[in-house]
Structure 1
Amino acid sequence: MKQDIKKIISKFNSQLNTTCAEISVSDLSVFFSVLISSFILKNRKTNIQLNQIHSDNILLTFKDELLIIEDRFPELIESFKETKKSINSKLLTPTISDLQLSFENVNEDIIDIISWSFQYLKKELTNKAFKKTGQNNNKIEDADLLLTTQFFTDSYMVKYLVDETVLSIKPQELEDIVIIDPASGGGNFLNYSFERLFYLFKSHKKDWTDNEIVDWLLNNAIVGYDLDSNLSKIASLSLFINACQYSIPDKSVSINIFGGKENDNLGFLNTKITSNSINRATINSKLKRINQDNLKKIFLTNPPFMGKRDMDVTLKNYLLNKYPESKGDLCVSFIQRIMQIMNHNDILSIVTQNNWMYLSSLKGFRELFLKENSLRVCVDLGTNAFEDINGEKTNIALCVIEKSNSSPTLFINLKHKKGNEKKLLVSSNNMPVEVVYTVNQNAFLDNQNFEFNYQLTDRFETIKKFNLYSDYGNPMQGTSTGNNKEFVKYAWEVNGNSDWKLVSKGGGFSKWVGLNYYKVLWGENAEFIKANKGSALRNINKIPSTELVYSDTGTLGLNVRILKNNQVFIASGPGIQVIKGDKFAHLAFLNSRVATFLLKLINPKFTISAGYISNIPVAKNILDSKYISNKSELCLNLKDDYLKNKLPNFEFNHIDYFTIKKLDNFINECILKDLENDFQRLLLEFKIEDRIRGEYKFGKEELAEMKRMVGESPFYNKKTKKELSIIELDSFLSNCIDINCLSRSKTINGFSIGSESILEELSYIYDLSPKVIYTHLVNNIKLLKSTQDKYYKDLLHKLVLFELGINHISDYSKKIINLNVLVQTLKHKYFFLKNLKDLNKTIALIVIKHHKTSFLNKPLVSIYNESVIVGQE
């Protein structure tokens, strides 16, 4: 039903501006709320057969339903009728028909449909508000604050938290409970809480009528507040409609969902909340009365998410002043505010970003939390848990918090499950034993930053005795240029200018060596950056003694590389100094699955900071191991050899193309060479990994835990028998490489770690040992037609660059040459091209399309009026 509403409103929105005068989202939200409410009320009547509803007969069709709503919300009905006049009947009639069809085929709970209609109506405005923040350092303020922080809660999250909390209420407590949502949005939590409470009263208050239960709950047990006064009205309507399924509430009964005042950006975070009045009560007076009556408060909420970076200065300064431990984080400030007004045995069930459990900046908040509160349950959902929102912003957890003495906490780790799996597991509340951890939260007081490292605490006690990586290496922050657009360019954009230095910028996933596309305007000692306002020079003096660099974006795990000679590092590709041990052994350890696994236990965050690498526990006999060092150096050399033939890497060098005798043979040799390189690297990484795992002495349960999160080397897979289609295998192989025939880095098999190995990916796809895959490809090399085509085009691209005098990506002279002349030169010099048809057309496409993609949409070569031009304007 929810998805039906989404499609109907999306279709309506797409046609609205072309058929009607401009109508505000506020008016439209009221219109759709009343319209959907009318359908719900009508739908609850049995044996009602509706004729086709259209724009002209809608008021008559829903006469009774509109009267019920009008008796309670006259202003909403007035707005509904006025907005209806403004909507073109040619748009409104098909929209009503779509809604009618959807309600005739209801196959799920419709309790939250009213609120979701608002969410979908404002989607375009929300997108516009987010776009503003990316322009000229704009901050989110005024109306945009509401648009960008209102994300409604999926039904499965609401039901889990309500059931986990409300269903534990004892019969004798029923009349002493108040459900409060201080960021009530469209009322999703309040609606489901009302439903659950109604059935509890029905079970335990046998002498109460339905009407008495409904009136009691609305008057005494359900309280909401939202900063958006318009949304609070929609939530009130939604709760009213939900109550009507049991009994139409008496008009004297209050619906206690309060709305904020205009120009108020603080809302519930204000210690003196301003709100409208409902039967002479405000949210402040209501909370005061609840405390005076010694009622048990159960907070159920999904507060707004926003970091201080995007806030206007007024809101930021207020939060930093009133809730200093929360460091300006809006969601964490909400938690802190609610904890301040909780009494003993009060409960907070909340959808929250999970960053408060581990971010170093929130150490003070965690210490405060651990001293005064008990985390009873935490379902750690991670990313992609919301149906309509994706990305790291939604790295979330469902938490039940009590104002009581510490008791064992039940942690449920679903971070590495797929979106549908998360929903199914939470909905069924039937969790596999391997994702469940029971930890006494007092254990978190023992670590330096009070981080909630529940996996480490519950199952990895043995590694506590190990030294931390900071005893062996010094991960550092890099310099912030203050303006990467001006100070960081691709190497070919600056063509040998000595003021620009090769730089480790990160920008992807690459182990051992790689991602060397960039140069930074550095001068002798970063003087250009130093002169730029907004820059921050960090660890400049340590660059000469730095040996390793890494990418600070951690979606695919830790990936570390050698810092090349005369290369510097900046913020997103920071450096590591080796203090003790062998640099190659350090490189191997940090690139291992074990290191990424331990890092993710410590820090589930998107960005990898130097401090988190420093806190990785390191077993003995790893960082000074000659065995590991030798294997690591071999890996590095293999990767370096691989990149020497891959554009547009700084390592790239042309080969002697005149030695090519037969085109097909040469292309097959290139494919074989890359596969051999891939196989040998993957095998070496397995041997390194096996040695490192052995040094940690992980048991079966610990190895299983690591496998669930980061997988394991495909060489542990001993399966050798399976029918393999070479055509299918060729297709997969071709898709595993980019336009430069470079293996794409990606997550493997859904695990929380990346890979650059084609054979590793194919091994997971076919569930076979990589040796079997490799052997099959080698034996059928002549049949890899799709892959051969990619290598053929890559060769032509390299030949074009070579003939244009581009010997290196950052060393060339500007020139102009006629396309026909270039093609004839290629045919004359390379006899294997002489008999190829349509070479002019092929070379033109190579320059126009292939080259642009290859050079990351910053082409070095272009065509204009049949002339090939080398150099950028």
Structure 2
Amino acid sequence: MDKNAIKKYAVWARNELIERVSQKADQYEISADADPNADSAHGVLLTADEKKQRAALIGQVKEKGFDQVMEEVAYTWFNRFSALRFMEVNNYLPSRIRVFTDENGKFKPEILAEAIHLDLDGLDMEKVYALKDANDDDALFKYLIITQCNALSGVLLGMFQKIADYTELLFPDNLLRDGSVIEQMVAQIPEEDWKDQVQIIGWLYQYYNTEPKDKVFADLKKNKKITKEKIPAATQLFTPDWIVRYMVENSLGRLWVEGHPNDDLKESWKYYLEEAKQEPEVQKQLNEIKKEYATLTPDQIRAVDPCMGSGHIICYMFDVLMQIYEAYGYTARDAASSIVKNNLYGLDIDDRAAQLAYFAVMMKACQYDRRFLSRGIQPQVYAIMESNRFDPHMIDFFTDGRKELKSALNSLISDLHDAKEYGSILDVKPVDFPALYARFDEIRNGNPNLYTYQVLDELLPFVRMAEVMAQKYHVVVTNPPYMGSSGMGGKLSEFIKKNYPDSKSDLFAVFMECWNRHIVPTGFNCMVTMQSWMFLSSFEKMRENILENYTINNLMH
């Protein structure tokens, strides 16, 4: 894999996309002071859809600032273009028609050549014929990409949400020209590199954030604290493959083979460490634990990465789980569905990273089951969501005057206030989740009203995400963020001092302490950490807690 080419492309593509979407914003006279009800921009009349999208965009700019919104939109298109490229190279597109290249890998979009023969949900053939007749390939290409994204939203909702908002309004122009973001993606990154799903997605994500990360650390030298918007850029690192394998094999793998001895499985795990010889009394205790492991079936194992980034660790968990399932007698197809439904969980503070991790898990499932996208199964990987802005009328409609529903939902809303500040170190208390899901089913099957879709589109994902944060796991594996207390913003610093006094000196240690509490009594918490927690006096109480309440199974310096 040519990482230098990937880095060069990703850094350039970020700036290019930001410039292109900013030009589109200027074309529509977008600013925080713009009139959202204007009928035209620069003398050009707007369609009804453009007016609606423009008003939404102006609202976002007023709330977040122009630069932040341009950054978000550029990132969204980067993710979508990367996903489409990966899917076309690996023949995962349901249409089997390439979007950016022809069958020989040249930058000659097959989707353009096959436009009048395409079978895509939502495709308006009259519009296709009209654009063909006008020889307007740029407009046709834009229309086909947006329609392809919308068609994929039915099976890959976490990556291709319906594009009916300002994201479509800011679609970059001139993508068919030499030197465009798409042409350069095809030219600079060898097609072979797109075959390694985890590597290409992870490195694209990390390199895309190179300049934002450099700026965060430059600002730190000027004593500017890291805000919640900048935490992902400052702390995200793509974990090298051998480290991921070492961690997963010695946690998830160990959990299974200690209860279900299997030399063939262990033989396939290059980094698995055999257990050291123990004293008789210790061995007796270990044998009791192994008896607990022996009662587990593959579908009962819960494994989570609470800082999943673009999904590298989760994807290797998927591979190891697949080996476990197949050793237990499952077919690959049945195992893929069960793993996504029952075993894998993930969280991240960064919406774009969560989007990529979602995509990575879905593509990993496709690797084992070519028809997986047609099965309607969605992975349990989520971006951390805040509860701050829920419509109180929607909440009243959902709780329906029932005290038990109101109590459960209010507890989650309280626990997840300002959640983007704190991420997965928040303590989300378990509630009656089955009762909440029963109410969602009731609303889904009832007569729709003003709040029905709001409840199902906004509140349901929030509750699902909250459950992932609240439950306990057999296995936690992650590369937590490293951030010393001196770099933390005010809110995060105060929260950690109050809730994690023993580990407050660095965010990685806070994650160790927090997620130790999320494992079952015989579970594993496996993390890449700094070494300072082992000897600095500021971590003395944390060390005492670990030695008193947990066992270090193995540790690599």
TM-score by length of 2: 0.59
Question: Could you tell me which residue of structure 2 aligns to residue 183 of structure 1?
Answer: 307
What secondary structure is seen at the aligned counterpart in 1 of 2:22? coil
Instruction: Return the letter of the residue paired with 1:282.
Output: R
Match of 2:84 in 1: 38
Tell whether the 8 Å contact from 2:384 to 2:465 is kept in structure 1 after alignment.
no
Distance 1:85 1:64, change over 3 A: closer
The residue that corresponds to 1:124 in the other structure is: 211
Return the alpha-carbon distance in structure 2 between the equivalents of residues 231 and 244 of structure 1. Answer: 20
1:24-35 equivalences in 2 (<5 Å): 24-35=70-81
- SS of the residue corresponding to residue 88 of structure 2 reads helix
1:133 to 213, 217, 220: 220
Query: What secondary structure, in the 3-state scheme, does the structure 2 residue paired with 1:305 have?
Result: coil
Deviations 1:600-629 (A, max 9, x none): xxxxxxxxxxxxxxxxxxxxxxxxxxxxxx
**AA paired with 1:52?**
F
Secondary structure of 1:298's aligned partner: strand
Measured against aligned partners, the alpha-carbon deviations of 1:712-752 in whole angstroms (never above 9, x if no partner) come to xxxxxxxxxxxxxxxxxxxxxxxxxxxxxxxxxxxxxxxxx
Q: Is residue 2:108 matched to residue 1:53?
A: yes
User: Matches of 1:328 and 1:155 in 2, distance apart?
Assistant: 28
Give the aligned partner of residue 114 of structure 1.
201
Cα shift at 1:193: 1.0
- Structure 1: tracts of 5 or more residues without a match: 381-873
Q: Distance in 2 between the 1:144 and 1:155 partners?
A: 26
Q: Does the 8 Å CA contact 2:304/2:346 hold for their aligned counterparts?
A: yes
Q: Which amino acid aligns with 1:145?
A: I
CA distance in 1, matches of 2:209, 2:185: 19
Identity of aligned residues (%): 20
Could you say if the C-alpha distance between residues 193 and 360 of structure 1 is closer, same or farther in structure 2, counting changes exceeding 3 Å? same
The question of 1:243 aligning with 2:327 is answered no
Match of 1:254 in 2: 378
Asked if 1 retains the 8 angstrom alpha-carbon contact of 2:479 and 2:529, the reply is: yes
Pair 190,134 (structure 1): closer, same or farther in 2 beyond 3 Å = same
| Structure 1 residue 89 corresponds to structure 2 residue 89 | no
Cα separation, 2, equivalents of 1:187 and 1:177? 19
Give the corresponding residue for 1:552.
none
Q: Is the 8 A contact 1:32 1:117 kept in 2?
A: no
Equivalent pair of 2:304/2:477 in contact (CA under 8 Å): yes
TM-aligned CA deviation for residue 60 of structure 1: 5.4
Q: How far apart, in 1, do the equivalents of 2:142 and 2:253 lie?
A: 40
Cα gap change, 1:156 to 1:277, in 2 (>3 Å): farther
Question: Is the 1:186–1:238 Cα contact (8 Å) retained in structure 2?
Answer: yes
Aligned match of 2:508: 331
Measured in 2, the distance between the counterparts of 1:192 and 1:76 equals: 26
**What is the CA–CA distance in structure 1 between the aligned matches of 2:150 and 2:207, rounded to whole Å?**
23
User: Per-residue displacement from partner, 1:732-776 (whole Å, max 9, x unpaired)?
Assistant: xxxxxxxxxxxxxxxxxxxxxxxxxxxxxxxxxxxxxxxxxxxxx
Distance 1:105 1:340, change over 3 A: closer
State how 1:858-869 maps to structure 2 within 5 Å: none
The verdict on how the C-alpha distance between 1:198 and 1:18 changes in structure 2, with shifts beyond 3 A counting, is same
Q: Are positions 1:282 and 2:458 aligned together? A: no
| Cross-structure match for 2:29 | none
Alpha-carbon distance in structure 1 between the residues aligned to 2:510 and 2:90: 41
C-alpha distance in structure 2 between counterparts of 1:227 and 1:77, whole Å: 22
Which residue matches 2:156?
72
Distance 2:509 2:497 in 1: 11
CA contact (8 A) 1:183 1:226 kept: yes
Residue of structure 1 equivalent to 2:268: none
Aligned partners of 2:356 and 2:168: how far apart in 1? 17
Partner of 1:438: none
How many residue pairs end up in the alignment? 372
Q: Secondary structure at the match of 1:376?
A: coil
Match of residue 522 from structure 1: none
Aligned to 1:167: 253
Distance 1:349 1:146 in 2: 21
- Deviation track 1:50-83 (CA, whole Å, cap 9, x = no partner) reads 4423694587599878744553327546279727
Match of 1:151 among 220, 227, 237: 237
Return closer, same or farther for 1:59/1:379 CA change in 2, 3 Å cut-off. Answer: farther
**C-alpha contact (below 8 Å) 2:385/2:462 kept by paired residues:** no
Gaps (5+ residues) in structure 2? 24-68, 97-102, 110-136, 261-293, 387-417, 431-456
> Taking CA–CA contacts closer than 8 Å with sequence separation of 6 or more, which of the two structures ends up with the larger relative contact order?
2
- Residue 199 in 1 paired to residue 323 in 2? yes
Please tell me the residue identity of whatever aligns with 1:35.
Answer: F
Give the C-alpha shift of residue 250 in structure 1: 4.9
Larger radius of gyration: 1
Residue 229 of structure 1 aligns with which residue?
A: 351
Q: Which moved more, 1:19-28 or 1:259-268?
A: 19-28
| In structure 2, distance between residues paired with 1:87 and 1:155 | 37
Alpha-carbon RMSD across the aligned residues, in angstroms, is: 3.4
Question: What residue is the counterpart of 1:9 in the other structure?
Answer: 10
1:266 matched residue in structure 2: 422
SS in 1 for 2:243: helix
Shift of 1:29: 2.6
Q: How many Å apart are 1:341 and its aligned residue? A: 2.4
State whether structure 2 residue 556 is matched by structure 1 residue 379: yes
Deviations 1:250-303 (Å, cap 9, x if unpaired)? 554231112223443112211128997556743342455x55xxxx52001111
1:365 maps to which of 521, 531, 542: 542
Counterpart CA distance in 1 for 2:532 and 2:190 is 40
TM-score scaled to structure 1, two decimals?
A: 0.39
Contact 1:37–1:238 under 8 Å retained in 2: no
Residue in 2 aligned with 1:211? 333
What secondary structure sits across from 1:53 in the alignment? coil
Q: Deviations over 1:319-369 (max 9, x none)?
A: 122111113321101100111222221101111111111212211111111
Cα gap change, 1:90 to 1:279, in 2 (>3 Å): closer
Q: Say whether the 8 Å CA contact 2:534–2:543 is kept in structure 1.
A: yes
